[in-house]
Amino acid sequence: MAMQERTQVGIIGAGPAGLLLARLLKLHGVESVILEARTRDYVEARVRAGVLEQGTVELLEEAGVADRLHRDGLVHDGVEIAAGGRRLRIDFRDLVGKTVTVYGQTEVTRDLIAARLAGDGPIVWEAADVTIHDIDGDRPRLRYRAGDAERELACDFVAGCDGFHGASRPSLPASLVRTFERTYPFGWLGILADVPPCSDELIYASHPRGFALASMRSPTRSRYYIQCSLDEKIEEWPDARIWDELALRLGSEPAPDITTGPSIEKSIAPLRSFVATPMQHGRLFLAGDAAHIVPPTGAKGLNLAASDVHYLCRAFVAHYTRGNDDLLHAYSETALARVWKAERFSWWMTMLLHRLHPEASFEAQMQRAELDYLASSRAAQTVLAENYVGLPF
């Protein structure tokens, strides 16, 4: 017979969404148990993006886990767009009075794990074969295996924060779920290296050879990406070839001073946009990548997970402290309103900056006209800045 446990909110997934939700709930006196399929070492080592909207930073401050972020994070007042041999700076602080902070998702995860293990509640690592039961009733259950033991967690609610391939989304009734997807016909080849960044701010480059991005994780660690075809093999891209290609695509006026060095991580990732609706049914609620994926061009993935958590936490707290379920009933509609705006911005940035059409095509001329308009219009730059720093929760 399965060992039985009880909590208020059962959380599946110890990524940023699940960990942040658990932390905020604990601060409001709501108990939770986190089930994570992987080991702690694996979760803490995952390389992910690292541009945090101002709202996400404020949410981490609210959670009491922002000390290291403020010490080590890099506050950016803008980004640069390189196209047609010139660089255009989008000044966030001047245009909308906000900033973003570069602080790796890996570091956010480590901070949240440390806070959780300092007394907030349990994380069950290597929780295998998680299944979700009775979400239509008032006592949903999570069944899983830990080691050789079969276990069951009874809870009031289930928060599915277990990513695109997790158990949560497939547990929603198939007849109710609609999915919307765009798969892009290219990928990003990324390289991580312990070299100083070539610029104090991110550079997004649109070039006839394809898109490139110059980013960073710290003053001594750089992250670069180049657009590539989906059939490329990482073995075909030795470090020297990547650095040469970056120099070509990032070439602009003024040209960035790229410091080269051996890679510590290389990968090729496909790009997709994906939304599943609704994000809730019964007592199961989805958050983060379990419900939506964005291409990384707009730096929205982690930030969308944070906004989901913002809405979901406040809904749970209203239930437990005031007996009011209005926010729970409205969660999916509220979260999706912001999700779709972020999807739009990520799609727009992706379509604007990547090589998608032959140079002589009408579509390529439209891309060029859009970039020219962006360079000449403060209103257009304000729209980009407003979306990049993050729309209000």
Q: What is the CATH number of the domain that holds 280?
A: 3.50.50.60
Whether residue 40 is contained in a domain is answered as: yes
Amino acid 333: pLDDT? 98
CA dihedral sign of residues 232, 238, 242, 245: negative
pLDDT of residue 191: 96
Residue 295 lies in a domain: yes
Q: What are the φ and ψ backbone dihedral angles of 15, each rounded to 5 degrees?
A: -85, -175
The runs of H, that is alpha helices, within the chain are 16-27, 40-45, 54-62, 67-72, 92-96, 105-115, 239-249, 301-322, 326-353, 362-376, 378-389
Query: 337: domain range?
Result: 3-71+104-180+272-349
* Residue 331 contacts residue 312 (beta carbons within 8 Å): yes
173 touches 282 (CB < 8 A): no
Say if CB 362 and CB 74 are below 8 A apart. no
Cis (ω within 30 of 0) for the bond into 196? no
pLDDT given at position 254 = 87
For residue 288, what are its two tokens?
């983060």
Report yes or no: 83 and 206 within 8 Å, Cβ to Cβ.
yes
- pTM for the whole structure: 0.96
Long-range own/partner contacts, residues 367-375 (CB < 8 A, 24 or more apart):
367/206, 368/84, 371/81, 371/83, 371/84, 371/206, 372/84, 374/81, 374/88, 375/81, 375/86, 375/88
pLDDT of residue 4: 83
Judge whether 201 lies within some domain.
Answer: no
Residue 262 within a domain = no
Q: Which residues, given as ranges, of the chain have pLDDT below 50?
A: none
Q: Work out the angle at residue 82's Cα, subtended by the Cα atoms of residues 79 and 88, and round it to the nearest 5 degrees.
A: 55
- DSSP symbol at 227: E
Q: Would you call 351 exposed, middle or buried from its count of C-beta atoms within 10 A (0-12, 13-18, 19+)?
A: middle
Q: How many domains does the chain have?
A: 1
Q: Is beta strand 157-160 parallel, antiparallel or unpaired with respect to 178-193?
A: unpaired
In a domain, 331, yes or no: yes
Q: Any bridge partners for residue 143, and if so which? A: 131, 152
Q: How crowded is residue 313: how many other Cβ atoms within 10 Å of its Cβ?
A: 26
pLDDT of residue 366: 96
63-87 in b/e form (b: 16+ CB < 10 A) is bebbeebeeebbebbbbbbbbbeeb
Where in the sequence numbering do the catalytic residues fall? 76, 204, 296, 300, 388
Which of 121, 119, 122, 140 minimizes the C-alpha distance to 131? Answer: 140
Neighbours of 18 (CB within 10 A): 29
pLDDT at 1: 53
Q: Please report whether residue 82 resides in a domain.
A: no
CB 207 within 8 A of CB 241: no
Would you say residue 307 lies in a domain?
yes
Q: How many CB atoms lie within 10 A of CB 357?
A: 13
Question: How distant, in Å, are the alpha carbons of 67, 133, 155, 156, 270 from that of 32?
Answer: 24, 17, 9, 10, 34
Question: At which residue do the structure tokens 């506050």 appear?
Answer: 75
Number of other CB atoms surrounding residue 266 within 10 Å: 16
CA–CA dist 48, 302 (Å, integer): 9
> Which two three-digit tokens encode residue 94?
């001047």
- Does 33 map to a domain? yes
The pLDDT value given to residue 50 = 85
Residue partners of 183: CB distance under 8 A and separation at least 6: 270, 271, 272
Other residues' Cβ atoms within 10 Å of the Cβ of residue 212 = 25
Cα radius of gyration rounded to whole Å, the chain:
22
Please tell me the total number of residues recorded for the chain in this structure: 393
